């Protein structure tokens, strides 16, 4: 047996974990005797390792790696919060040691402002301010706050399950330093949640619900108590949920069967507006026992502001019903898709939307298919994406149910259209046009859904695009969408199965060219997510009940990324 043949045997045994001690010595000796073999062994070892990596390369696996790594990061995030907290404490200490001097004639209220340095803190960015105020409120809480889980019969139960408060829904919610919790998930009791933008609705076990508008800092204290340290919430406590409470830094608002809104400013001033029913408001300062302090009952149509500056002050403010939010905006809520072998989403099965305030799940069979009728891009790039095999007609890539096949990267215009798009080869309007199989009737909320493939190198809120009528008339305008309902940060935006991208060597100037020009396919190594947005035809000026035959879509050309539609369909008329 030649040394090469022996190396092959020993090396294979080595990679298969079957090489014993003497074998390893023999392999080491072979390598020591021939530098060329060392290189070969290293080559083969590296290829072996990469083969292992390829077998692991599936979207779900990569997603797991990313989330696992993110979970290992909080120490640094904590350090940031600790830094902010140390700032707060040091300011408070300076107050205690008299370093902050009350100006002559200043009121206690203005001292409060000085101590907590609103003016001095203006340089801090908005997000940091949210954390700071939230952290301050947290710090001001006394340590003797009642524990939430007192059920000694069930000491092993998860505290979150005991409190049983869930995130019921969300709309474009962004949380400071973390991804939004998935809809339906239990919220951790007493944990500080910092909603930097967007909206979330929280459901309490007795039926009460609260909609929080970002920016807001809040905590779930108990099954009947929400602490709002900053921001605005709209509470609905139906029959059976009386006694539901909202704690703010200066008040405790106790529901007496009502709808009300609570707004807490950066200085902890609290404004309560009663929309229906009544609520009792107890004032407190620095968490001194509320029962010994002011109690005010407000009934519908009344509003009052509470401020604390050493002592509680209240003043009547104009009633403003618009401060109350009855529901989250109409939007695409989620979707269901089949899973491919790699665990990624592939074929759309249904889409759940909120239309006119009502959440409905629409099977894909009931959606109104849209067919691509025009495509133009002024430069060559990738214009198709999909699986290893594309649809026979490339135009079908947008209308088939696959979330990975699409006609992507159309050109567009920075300024939206104000006149009818031209759809003639050679001088056509850059962008793409679709026609619905049957007219879409403009109803409440979204009337058309658009899915887009996006990866983490792309804008996280989705690729901005203009949507325009195919035929303008008085009252009709283009509408620009810059933020999708389901963004890269939405837990409901699913990781897609692996996809290929088809690069065209030439620009595409017509549908005929889209169907005929050659392309080269390249499998994408990175994972993509399926983003979604609802298009409300009313935003383009269509009348309620008006029938719409098709739409023109242009990239907004606001960056180097282009919209990548993989599925567009009309929603059926609302029953």
Partner 1 sequence: MADDPESDDLLIDSALHRVLRGETAAFEIVLRRFERPLRAWLASHVPPGVDVDEMAQRSFVAAFSRLSEFRIGTNFAAWLFTIARYQLRTETTRLRRIADYHARYGPDLLQRELDRRCGEPPTMWTTRLEHLQNCLESLDGSLRRYVSWRYDEEIPLDEMATRCGRSVAAVKKQLWKIRERLQQCVEMRMAAEGGTL
User: CB neighbours of 159 closer than 8 A, spacing ≥ 6?
Assistant: 148, 149, 188, 189
Strand 519-523 and strand 500-504: the pairing is: antiparallel
Interaction between residue 272 and partner 1 (CB under 8 A) = no
374-403: which residues touch partner 1 (CB under 8 A)? 381-382
- Whole-number minimum distance, CB 545 to partner 1, in Å? 37
Q: Which is nearer to partner 1, 54 or 544 (CB)?
A: 54
C-alpha to C-alpha distance for 312 and 326, rounded to whole angstroms = 30
User: CB neighbours of 529 closer than 8 A, spacing ≥ 6?
Assistant: 453, 454, 455, 488, 493, 494, 495, 496
Asked if 252 contacts 290 with a C-beta cutoff of 8 angstroms, the reply is yes
Binding window for partner 1 (CB under 8 A); candidates: 109-117, 265-273, 477-485, 518-526: 518-526
C-alpha distances in Å from residue 342, one per residue of 55, 58, 128, 406, 498: 10, 5, 40, 20, 8
C-alpha to C-alpha distance for 3 and 407, rounded to whole angstroms = 55
Q: Which is nearer to partner 1, 51 or 419 (CB)?
A: 51
Residue 332's nearest CA partner among 205, 438, 484, 458 is 484
425-464: which residues touch partner 1 (CB under 8 A)? 453, 455-460
- Whole-number minimum distance, CB 334 to partner 1, in Å? 20
Q: Which is nearer to partner 1, 221 or 372 (CB)?
A: 372
User: CB neighbours of 560 closer than 8 A, spacing ≥ 6?
Assistant: none
- Whole-number minimum distance, CB 115 to partner 1, in Å? 23
Strand 245-247 and strand 225-237: the pairing is: parallel
Stretch 64-93: interaction string toward partner 1, x if CB under 8 A: -xx-xxx-xxxxxx--xx--x---------
Among the listed residues 60, 92, 121, 128, the single contact to partner 1 using CB under 8 A = 128
Q: Which is nearer to partner 1, 180 or 283 (CB)?
A: 180
Interaction between residue 560 and partner 1 (CB under 8 A) = yes
User: 400: exposed, middle or buried (C-beta count within 10 Å: 0-12, 13-18, 19+)?
Assistant: buried
Q: Which is nearer to partner 1, 21 or 155 (CB)?
A: 21
Binding footprint of partner 1, residue count (CB under 8 A): 79
Among the listed residues 247, 411, 492, 564, the single contact to partner 1 using CB under 8 A = 564
Q: Which is nearer to partner 1, 141 or 561 (CB)?
A: 561
280-339: which residues touch partner 1 (CB under 8 A)? none
- Whole-number minimum distance, CB 453 to partner 1, in Å? 8
Q: Which is nearer to partner 1, 177 or 223 (CB)?
A: 177
Q: Which is nearer to partner 1, 20 or 144 (CB)?
A: 20
Among the listed residues 22, 36, 55, 475, the single contact to partner 1 using CB under 8 A = 55
Among the listed residues 320, 526, 549, 574, the single contact to partner 1 using CB under 8 A = 526
Residue 554's nearest CA partner among 504, 502, 479, 486 is 479
Q: Which is nearer to partner 1, 38 or 101 (CB)?
A: 38
23-52: which residues touch partner 1 (CB under 8 A)? 24, 27-28, 31-32, 38-39, 41-52
- Whole-number minimum distance, CB 372 to partner 1, in Å? 18
Q: Token pair of 145, please?
A: 């706050």
Q: Token pair of 70, please?
A: 């993110």
How far does the chain reach from its first CA to its final CA, in angstroms?
Answer: 80
Stretch 478-517: interaction string toward partner 1, x if CB under 8 A: -----------x-----------x----------------
Element (H, E) at 166: strand 166-175
C-alpha to C-alpha distance for 43 and 38, rounded to whole angstroms = 9
Interaction between residue 60 and partner 1 (CB under 8 A) = no
Residue 285's nearest CA partner among 268, 306, 310 is 310
C-alpha to C-alpha distance for 209 and 223, rounded to whole angstroms = 11
Dihedral pair phi/psi, residue 264, rounded to 5°:
-115, 120
Alpha helices in 57-125 (DSSP H): 59-71, 74-96, 108-115
Interaction between residue 217 and partner 1 (CB under 8 A) = no
Q: Which is nearer to partner 1, 255 or 564 (CB)?
A: 564
Interaction between residue 4 and partner 1 (CB under 8 A) = no
Interaction between residue 121 and partner 1 (CB under 8 A) = no
Q: Which is nearer to partner 1, 300 or 489 (CB)?
A: 489
Among the listed residues 115, 118, 127, 186, the single contact to partner 1 using CB under 8 A = 127
Interaction between residue 182 and partner 1 (CB under 8 A) = no
């Amino acid at each position: 047996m030649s040394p090469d043949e022996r190396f092959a045997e020993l090396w294979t045994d080595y990679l298969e974990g079957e090489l014993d001690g003497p074998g390893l010595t023999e392999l080491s000796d072979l390598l020591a005797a021939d530098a060329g073999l060392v290189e070969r062994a290293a080559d083969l070892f590296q290829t072996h390792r990469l083969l292992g990596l390829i077998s692991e390369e599936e979207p779900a696996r990569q997603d797991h790696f990313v989330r696992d790594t993110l979970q290992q990061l909080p120490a640094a995030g904590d350090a940031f919060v600790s830094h902010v907290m140390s700032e707060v404490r040091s300011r408070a200490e300076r107050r205690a040691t008299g370093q902050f001097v009350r100006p002559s004639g200043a009121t206690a209220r203005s001292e409060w402002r000085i101590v907590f340095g609103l003016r001095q803190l203006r340089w801090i960015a908005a997000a940091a301010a949210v954390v700071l105020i939230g952290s301050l409120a947290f710090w001001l809480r006394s340590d003797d706050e009642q524990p939430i889980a007192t059920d000694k019969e069930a000491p092993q139960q998860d505290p979150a399950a005991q409190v049983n408060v869930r995130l019921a829904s969300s709309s474009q919610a962004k949380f400071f330093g973390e991804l939004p919790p998935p809809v339906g998930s239990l919220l951790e009791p007493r944990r500080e949640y910092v909603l930097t933008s967007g909206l979330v609705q929280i459901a309490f076990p007795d039926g009460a619900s609260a909609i929080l508008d970002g920016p807001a800092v809040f905590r779930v204290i108990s099954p009947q108590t929400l602490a709002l340290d900053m921001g605005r919430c709209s509470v609905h406590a139906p029959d059976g949920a009386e006694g539901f409470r909202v704690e703010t830094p200066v008040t405790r608002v106790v529901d007496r069967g009502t709808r009300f809104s609570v707004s807490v400013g950066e200085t902890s001033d609290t404004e309560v507006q009663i929309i229906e029913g009544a609520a009792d408001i107890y004032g407190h300062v620095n968490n001194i026992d509320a029962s010994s302090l002011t109690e005010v009952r407000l009934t519908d149509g009344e509003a009052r502001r509470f401020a604390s500056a050493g002592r509680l002050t209240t003043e009547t403010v104009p009633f403003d019903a618009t401060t109350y939010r009855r529901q989250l905006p109409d939007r695409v809520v989620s979707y269901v898709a089949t899973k491919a072998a790699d665990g990624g989403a592939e074929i759309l099965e249904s889409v759940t939307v909120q239309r006119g305030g009502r959440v409905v799940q629409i099977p894909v069979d009931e959606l109104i298919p849209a067919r691509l009728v025009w495509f133009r891009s002024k430069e060559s790039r990738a214009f198709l994406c999909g699986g290893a095999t594309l649809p026979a007609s490339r135009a079908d890539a947008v209308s088939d149910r696959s979330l990975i096949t699409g006609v992507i990267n159309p050109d567009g215009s920075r300024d939206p259209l104000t006149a009818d798009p031209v759809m003639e080869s050679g001088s056509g309007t850059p962008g793409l046009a679709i026609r619905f199989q049957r007219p879409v009737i403009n109803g409440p909320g979204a009337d058309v859904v658009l899915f887009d493939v996006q990866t983490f190198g792309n804008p996280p809120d989705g690729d901005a695009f203009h949507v325009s009528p195919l035929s303008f008339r008085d009252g009709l305008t283009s509408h620009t969408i810059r933020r999708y309902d389901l963004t890269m940060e939405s837990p409901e935006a699913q990781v897609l199965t692996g996809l290929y991208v088809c690069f065209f060597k030439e620009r595409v100037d017509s549908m005929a060219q889209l169907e005929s020009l050659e392309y080269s396919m390249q499998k994408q190594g990175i994972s993509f997510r399926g983003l979604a947005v609802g298009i409300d035809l009313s935003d383009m000026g269509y009348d309620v009940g008006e029938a719409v035959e098709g739409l023109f879509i242009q990239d907004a050309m606001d960056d180097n990324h282009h919209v990548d539609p993989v599925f567009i369909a009309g929603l059926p008329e609302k029953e």
